[in-house]
Every structure is written in C-alpha cells, then in structure tokens.
Amino acid sequence: MTVQSEIENKLLDAFSPSFLEVLNESHMHNVPKGSESHFKVILISDEFDGKMLVARHKLVYKVLAEELANGVHALALHTHTVAEYETKHGTVPDSPLCLGGNKLGTGR
C-alpha cells in the first residue's frame, strides 16, 4: 500500500470526515521522482468542533505518528468543521515551494 493510501485510511478511521483530500506534493520539493515525503491534507470533520487549531493538528499528528517518523517530511494541514469550511467557500491556500533546507539535515 502507498503511504498516501495509508494516510487516507488512518484519517478516515479516526475522524469520519465529511470531506478528505490527501495530496502528494513531493514533486514540489527536492526529492527523487515518485517520493512520498510531502503531503497536504484537507480534512473536514465535525470531530474538530470546539477545538483550537493547535489541538486539531496535534490529533492528526498523533494518528499519523508512524508516517511522520518514517519518511513523511512535511504535512500541510487544513482542518475545519463543516460550518467553517462552508464560510470559507471551500478554498484552502496552495502549499509553498521548497527552498532547499531539506538537504541540510534529517527533516521532518
């Protein structure tokens, strides 16, 4: 199974999301072709209701701890409740391009 589908399955199990999108953005970074190192996650779930952003992201990090410890270097997170997502007209910002710091140490 690809890392991408592992991430999707774990998030589906943990958050019963109304909407989930996991994008492999590794091609935007200085890594070999076909890498699974940089991901963007858009996760819409009412499990986040009443939780601060920092707490929401920590929940996701906990579910994906194994992936983050084994090769997943960056995880852009957009965590909303259904109501919040609707107010935002369903738009999330693009992730930034790499500036090369990845080569300089074990990355996360």
1 or 54: whose CB is closer to another protein?
A: 54
Minimum distance between the CB of residue 36 and another protein, rounded to whole angstroms?
16
Chain residues binding another protein by CB under 8 A are: 53-54, 57-58, 61, 65, 68-69, 74-78, 93, 95-102, 104-105, 108
* Per-residue CA distances from 51 to 14, 46, 85, 100 (Å): 16, 10, 15, 34
Contact 7, 22 (CB under 8 A): yes
Minimum distance between the CB of residue 73 and another protein, rounded to whole angstroms?
8
47 or 77: whose CB is closer to another protein?
A: 77
- Looking at residue 87, its amino acid is T
Minimum distance between the CB of residue 32 and another protein, rounded to whole angstroms?
18
Q: How far apart are CA 31 and CA 89, in angstroms?
A: 33
Give 48's DSSP letter.
G
